[in-house]
Amino acid sequence: MSNKCATKGADPEPMLGTEPFEDTVQRLREAFKSGRTRPAAFREEQLEALGRFLREKQELLYEALAQDLQKSPLNSDISEIILCQNEVDLALKNLKTWMKDKPASNNLLTKLDSAFTRKEPLGLVLIIAPWNYPVNLTLVPLIGAIAAGNCVILKPPEISKRIEKVLTEVLPQYLDQSCFAVVPGGPEESQKMLQHKFDHIFFTGSARVGKIVMAAAAKHLTPVTLELGGKNPCYVDDNCDPQTVANRLAWFRYFNTGQTCVAPDYVLCSQEMQERLVPALQNAITRFYGDDPRSSPDLGRIISQRHFKRLHELLSCGRVVIGGQSDEDDLYIAPTVLVDVQETEQVMQEEVFGPILPLMTVRSLDEAIDFINRQEKALALYVFSNDSKVVNQVLDQTSSGNFGGNDGFLYMTLPSLPFGGVGKSGMGRYHGKFSFDTFSNHRACLLAPSGLEKLNEVRYPPYSYQAQKFLRWAMRSHSCTLL
């Protein structure tokens, strides 16, 4: 990767050759040290360039997403491109406010001082992105890291090959390449990258790799944000309209062919509800994808052979009541619903991450909650009920990264809600201002005046008899800081 800085209307030729990774790191660190990324104007310029990338290369992105994941333009718009555009716009609109010092509330003794938290860039950030929403999950963190004034190395997903190419060859043309680099590679290259020191590592992917990332980060005391996954439970109460629930459930489950970290992973409901839900799900699936889902442009394909094989095996769990068809050559799996599923079966042991929805019956809300609490904390949890008491009970008695009442992962579209996991589903959060905060050092600052030294007298030794007396009084009455 050459050392040229991209300017507006840059040379459209793809970057060729590879710079040794150590050199990229060194180069970006030097750029950071030079102070280039600090001024708001620089950051705004980069963000505007990102906005231009999204607009000017929209067709290229549609094409790449269609090739890699069979995403429809609508899918690409609502789950990737528009979300990124909104984040760019939000950052541009609020950057100066986010960058401002945040005053701390002063107490009695510091009324004369100035106390505030200063947001500073961390330095060099590494972002490792996954393949399922490859534009979104690369650019949204990037937007935050840039807004916060950092230099960034991006490792785009290698499994979504066409997108990897676009991000590696086209994206850098829009950004200042002295400060931002896109470095492609597979697991081996990632491992090597992780040996270097960064000032923050942002990783989206599996828990297994999350542990590797955190262990590597520990060697350098690098803070991490890990956006992982899990089995997102979905409780469907008897008190609800099955068709409405089925519409929402099906939409969020089969969107992006089920390859969504926050999709409902399995359903818990009563036997009676299950009997109403299954035909309702069939209605929804037919309504969305037609009688032959395979020919629907709104249904994508599985990302790879490996994942297809993994999902194909899950089709033999429980009993197929809807779908179940598959075609290896096409990497196609039909929108599927399974019933009579046992907890020990594979489909209930790993995150599904595909268009297969297992239904498990429970005899009560309490049983559902117990079941959920026996599992690891998931990235998301959903409850469908007309009764707000039920919704609140589940909310209060469980934990998860995020929570949806009567709908799926719509909360992802609100930048005012922090997005992240808890426990095995991850640590840290982002979106909107939370991204900016994640990639910043929050430096506590206190400006004390030189004068008024008299006020400080009491804190200096020697601690006289008077002082001891005062001390005993202070201990017995309300506490008081003297420093």
Which residues from 15-44 bind other proteins, rule CB under 8 A? 33, 35
Q: Are 237 and 390 in contact (CB under 8 A)?
A: yes
CA–chain centroid gap for 315, Å, is: 29
**Strand 440-447 to strand 114-121: parallel, antiparallel, or no bridges (unpaired)?**
antiparallel
Eight-state DSSP code of residue 81: I
Pairing of strands 180-182, 233-236: unpaired
Regarding 60 and contact with other proteins (CB under 8 A), the answer is no
Nearer residue to other proteins within complex by CB, 344 or 464: 464
Q: State yes or no: residue 368 binds other proteins (CB under 8 A).
A: no
User: Could you give the 3-state DSSP secondary structure of residue 233?
Assistant: strand
Nearer to other proteins, 174 or 252 (CB): 252
Which range touches other proteins (CB under 8 A), out of 135-143, 187-195, 265-273, 281-289?
281-289
Using alpha carbons, select from 206, 315, 296, 212 the residue that is nearest to residue 259: 206
Please say if 59 is a catalytic residue. Answer: no
H helix runs in 113-267, sequence order? 136-147, 161-169, 187-193, 207-218, 242-254
Judged by beta carbon, residue 127 or residue 217, the one nearer other proteins is 217
Is 476 a binding residue for other proteins by CB under 8 A? The answer is yes
Question: Closest separation between CB of residue 417 and other proteins, Å?
Answer: 4
The smaller minimum CB distance to other proteins, of residues 1 and 207, is found at 207
Measured CA to CA, the distance from residue 342 to residue 309 in angstroms comes to: 21
User: Can residue 455 be called a binding residue for other proteins (CB under 8 A)?
Assistant: no
CB of 235 to other proteins, least distance (A): 13
Contact segment (CB under 8 A) with other proteins among 134-142, 307-315, 351-359, 442-450 equals: 442-450
Place of tokens 């909650």: 369
If the CB atoms of residues 321 and 395 are measured against other proteins, the closer one turns out to be: 395
Q: Which is nearer to other proteins, 166 or 175 (CB)?
A: 166
Torsion angle of the four alpha carbons 353, 355, 360, 365, in this order, in degrees rounded to the nearest 10: 70
Considering all CA atoms of the chain, what is the largest pairwise distance in Å, rounded to the nearest integer?
91
Pairing assessment for the beta strands 200-204 and 151-155 based on DSSP bridges:
unpaired
Q: Are 273 and 49 in contact (CB under 8 A)?
A: no
Q: Which of 55, 463, 469, 473 binds other proteins (CB under 8 A)?
A: 463
Candidates 261, 269, 317, 351; catalytic one = 261
Q: Which residues sit opposite 202 in a β-bridge?
A: 127, 225
From candidates 40, 112, 414, 455, binder to other proteins by CB under 8 A? 414
- Among 312, 324, 423, 437, indicate the residue that binds other proteins (CB under 8 A): 423
Q: How far is the CB of 377 from other proteins (least distance, A)?
A: 8
Please state, in angstroms and rounded to a whole number, the distance separating the CA atoms of residues 357 and 323: 10
Q: Which stretch binds other proteins (CB under 8 A): 20-28, 50-58, 314-322, 414-422?
A: 414-422
Taking residue 295's Cβ as centre, other Cβ atoms within 10 Å add up to: 9
Active site includes 227? yes
Window contacting other proteins (CB under 8 A); options: 48-56, 71-79, 180-188, 263-271: 71-79
- By C-beta, is 79 or 132 nearer to other proteins? 79
9 binds other proteins (CB under 8 A): no
Residues 194-233 that bind other proteins (CB under 8 A): 199, 207, 210-211, 214-215, 217-219, 221, 223, 226, 228
Angle made by CA atoms 378, 384, 386, in degrees to the nearest 5? 150
- Kindly state whether residue 241 participates in binding other proteins, applying the rule CB under 8 A: yes
CA distance 42 to 80: 25
Residue whose C-alpha is closest to residue 5's, from 181, 267, 147, 132:
181
Determine which one of 80, 87, 164, 227 is catalytic. 227
Amino acid found at 70: Q
One of 26, 67, 304, 325 touching other proteins (CB under 8 A):
67
The footprint of other proteins on residues 114-173 (CB under 8 A) is 115, 117-118, 120, 122-123
